[in-house]
Amino acid sequence: MKHILIKLMLMGQLFLYFSVGFAQSNLKVSGKVVDAEGNSLPGSTIDLIHEKTNKKWNFIADNDGLFTLSPLTEGESYSIFGHHVGYAADSVKHFVASATSKNTILIRLKTNAKTIDEVVVVGYGVQKKVNLTGAVSAVSGADLNNRPAGQTSSALQGMASGVTVTQRSGKPGADGGDIRIRGIGTLGNANPLVLIDGIEGSMNNIDPNVVENISILKDAASASIYGSRAANGVILVTTKRGNSEKVAIAYNNYFGWQSASNMPKIVNALDHMLLTNEAYTNVGASPLYPEDIIKTYQTQGNGSSDEYPNTDWQKESLQGNGFQHSHFLTVNAGTNNVKMLTSVGYFDQQGLTLNSSFKRYTIRNNVDVKFSEKLAMKFDFQYVNPIITSPSAGIEELFQWMSSIPANQTFRNANGTWGLGWNGNNPVSAAADGGIATNKNPFGSINASLIYRPKEWLTAEVNYAPKYATQVNKNFRKAVQSYFPDGTASFSVPVRTALTQYNSQELFNNMRATLTFNKDFGQHQVRWLVGGAREDYKIDYIQGFRDTYVLPDYEVLNAGSALNQSATGSASEWALQSLFSRINYVFKDRYLLELNARYDGSSRFAKGNRYGFFPSASAGWRFSQEEFLSSIKGWLNEGKIRASWGKLGNQNIGTYPSVATLNLGSSTLGNGIVNTAALNDMSNPDITWESTEEKNIGLDLTLFNRWTFTADLYNRKTSDILLLLDIPLIIGLNKPYQNAGVVENKGWEMSVGYKNDPAQAFRYNFTFNLSDVKNKVLDMRGVNQTGLTVNREGHPINSIFGYVSEGYFQSADEIKTHATQFGTLAPGDLKYKDQNGDNVINESDKTIIGSTIPRYTYSLNSNFSYKGIDFSFLLQGVGKADGYLYGAGIQPFTTTGAIGGTIREDNKDRWTPDHTNAKYPRLAFGQNNNQQASQFWMKNASYLRLKNVQLGYTFRGQSLKSIGVSRLRLFVNGSNLFSIDKFWDGYDVEAPIGYGNFYPQVKVYSFGLDVTL
């Protein structure tokens, strides 16, 4: 019997072998991937899975959406999945190939409701874009990645209407953008709230490669769910998550070189001396430089020597290579129940000066676990270590010196020793040998959520997200000895080598629980969110100082002298607890209503003022869904009117401004040191939130399936802004802050987009954004600030304050008949307007002469592609803004910070008796009339800038698959290539206030690749 069974088994195996052998195993399946309207979807991905063995093959559709699957075995069962970015995956299951049939299939993909185009991330959830009733802008991570940027905030520039991003510097690690949403609504901290996967953070602490999308909540209705922290708008950053059931590896990089986009042109040594002599002569003094020295320089020409130096300070100071590169590796893997996305990134940006750089190391792991149909978990871990290195003298000081020290001062002697510079201040030696300042700010965070769905319409979620950060700042300033050409020692700057070190530890806890009810009742859709949150924060820090380092190679505090040491330290903490709720109601897919409320309690305020209530309401009407408009549905695809009102708060007004605090310290008394405690500031226990109320009306249109149009009109008023109001001097304490100020922002914004037929081989799209905001201070309780930038009633925040200039004095008689001005006047000096008619020019004649807040912000973002070629560019600009430069940055022979000023090339166009219509006033050394704050030194700060342009090519096909690569893209990129503006030559228009000591914007030329395995 046993032998019979064995024979039967062998015969069965032979039968299976021959049956398989006779089945055809080289069958092909042809197909096409299209959208819901029948348009082909080029580049779609098709997965072929053998249902018995689970073996998987991958294919890519061509430019017409066509694909061929092979080889298939006759009679075997397969599952075929179609994928395309922006569409939900679709499948054909249990497909059996046959030798007698055509074996053709059609995969029709529907728009994915979870894509950035259809679903928008909002507070504590997502909403369909068509159902939004608030003012929300969405930016995709793909658009951000088109711009190689070290700081994610700067990549947001020009990407959304109503959002102004100003990049004031190109300094490594500090080249992020100042983000303002719908203007500036407070006199204090105007930064928006940034939440990364629901947790407060900084956009500059995440690599742009990890960003899936960004939502910007601009009006009070959309932002009020965040209550006391949302007065300046809210930015929601969503990171990428795992979405693959196989292992997919992606790597991208770029390599680039930076160069200063704009630097002032400084005169050479000979011109400096000739013009200095002219400036001395014009004020009745003898020429500073004798004729024989001038003749020697004329004979020497463009050369330079120890005795007769002719230094190009900018050239010698900007010795950094400006090289930057980025590398980012992503592993996307998972199963049906566990999905993971692990990212590792490295960014290195070298500066324009020696010993200046920014490096960032990034590790992020996002995990999604599905325990059952009802229970799931998200667990995210992130570690980021940013390191900024710069010369210890300070980048700003170096840029001031290199544009202020005259060319007839030497930077290095022929024997290799450091030259005098300006009294020992030498940007070249300071960058090379003056020591290094490092700022290390590593942090790690966990974001863990447990999601429970007992019913399909009910979701409960609890979240815990701690973040721990440390900061170590070390500034080791080495003394640099300068020498005369004969080898004699001269200045030592600084006098002694010194170390200042700062260490801090920060712990931020965030706990949140939400319950979401989401159910349809016939034509009624109801979504109700309730939740609670608690946040707390604590920081401990200490700072130490020592100088006189005999062994300067040992950069630790103990290596310095104890004779002049100091140590300080402190700690602070705060907590915020909140309840919040949101109700969304939709009737017949056309009538929309949303109600939000948040109740916040902050430890920053005294009892009785700790809690605030922040409500909002918004409504919308999708008129395109009405039956009486059905006849125009052919061209009106979507039309919606929105209206909203809301109230927001701002708790970022200091940690405990309502509490009387003692200033602790120490001082000498007799022959000893005693501890002291002093009450210097008067407290105000009645301080409470700054309160913002905003109204908004908006219109959304989609026309001809190609055009999109969004417009909003808004009015936002912030009250109870903190001001320092006068108190009786007899109290003997500094004045306290009081809730008193009022600021208003009125404006409108619009966005127009177009996208051609995606079925075409040549595809293109563009988005044009335009915003207008009028900022006005309504109430300062009579406080009239003085200075270059002021806040005054009836004018924008940070307005420019100075004299109205009326041209030049052209004769001595004109000076005699004009109001008395400053110093000794002569023809060619600036003339100021006597505003009050008292015949004396003084502070009473100053007035608001300009605004630093741009009135208009605009951008054009365009993308083109043909087959594998893609091209994109971004134009961005602002209109109706003013900037101001003063001091050694712009005014001839002016000293700033004890640095002797020289003169710029365009300063040569100065007033003389033979040239009365000059660009600049007469040269006058030591006079202060022409250096007063006035309209003359103010310039139009409007600009149009080509922020980015990129050209790429994507390789696909079987040749790549043979080496295990599914996609390869190469690209070249240029950033900040040119700017059209009317600002001062040599200075960047985006950093418009100061004396020119800022690190310039940089042009970046880069190339790189994206590869997916």
Could you please report the per-residue DSSP string of 174-203? ----EEEESS---SS--PPEEEETTEE--G
**Model pLDDT, residue 160:** 93
pTM for the whole thing? 0.86
Segment 327-369, tens digit of pLDDT: 999 999 988 899 999 999 999 999 999 999 999 999 999 999 9
Task: Select from 232, 166, 218 the least CA-distant residue to 854.
Answer: 166
Task: Select from 550, 382, 544, 375 the least CA-distant residue to 474.
Answer: 544
* Contacts with 674 (C-beta within 8 Å, 6 or more apart), sequence order: 666, 667, 668
Amino acid sitting at position 809 = F
Range list of H helices, 752-897? 812-817
Segment 811-829, tens digit of pLDDT: 999 999 999 999 999 999 9
* Contacts with 60 (C-beta within 8 Å, 6 or more apart), sequence order: 43, 44, 45, 46, 67, 956, 957, 966
- Cβ(557)–Cβ(501) below 8 Å: yes
CA distance 768 to 161: 9
- Can you say how many angstroms the Cα of residue 303 is from the centroid of all Cα atoms in its chain? 44
Q: What is the mean pLDDT of each run of 10 residues along the chain (1013 residues)?
A: 41 38 64 76 79 78 78 83 71 76 78 54 87 91 82 91 92 92 90 92 87 93 91 93 85 94 94 96 94 94 92 95 95 90 96 96 95 94 96 92 93 94 93 96 96 94 96 96 94 94 96 95 94 95 94 90 90 94 94 96 88 95 90 89 94 78 74 80 86 96 93 96 86 86 96 88 94 95 90 95 96 95 95 96 96 96 93 96 90 74 93 95 92 95 96 84 85 94 93 86 94 88
**Model pLDDT, residue 17:** 37
Torsion angles phi and psi, residue 17, rounded to 5: -60, -45
- Can you say how many angstroms the Cα of residue 655 is from the centroid of all Cα atoms in its chain? 25
Residue 333, both tokens: 């893997």
**Model pLDDT, residue 605:** 87
Q: Provide the 10 A C-beta neighbour count for residue 334.
A: 21
Place of tokens 């929300």: 136
Q: Provide the 10 A C-beta neighbour count for residue 457.
A: 13
CA distance 181 to 453: 36
**Backbone angle region of 54, left / alpha / beta, with phi > 0 → left and psi within -120 to 50 → alpha:** left
Task: Select from 575, 890, 768 the least CA-distant residue to 159.
Answer: 768
**Model pLDDT, residue 75:** 79
**Model pLDDT, residue 9:** 39
**Model pLDDT, residue 20:** 39
* Contacts with 212 (C-beta within 8 Å, 6 or more apart), sequence order: 116, 140, 141, 238, 239, 240, 241
Segment 515-537, tens digit of pLDDT: 999 999 989 999 999 999 999 99
**Model pLDDT, residue 88:** 66
For residue 611, CA distances in Å to 595, 604, 719 come to 20, 10, 17
Segment 822-876, tens digit of pLDDT: 999 999 999 999 999 999 999 999 999 999 999 999 999 999 999 889 999 999 9
Task: Select from 514, 509, 519 the least CA-distant residue to 457.
Answer: 519
CA distance 118 to 139: 12
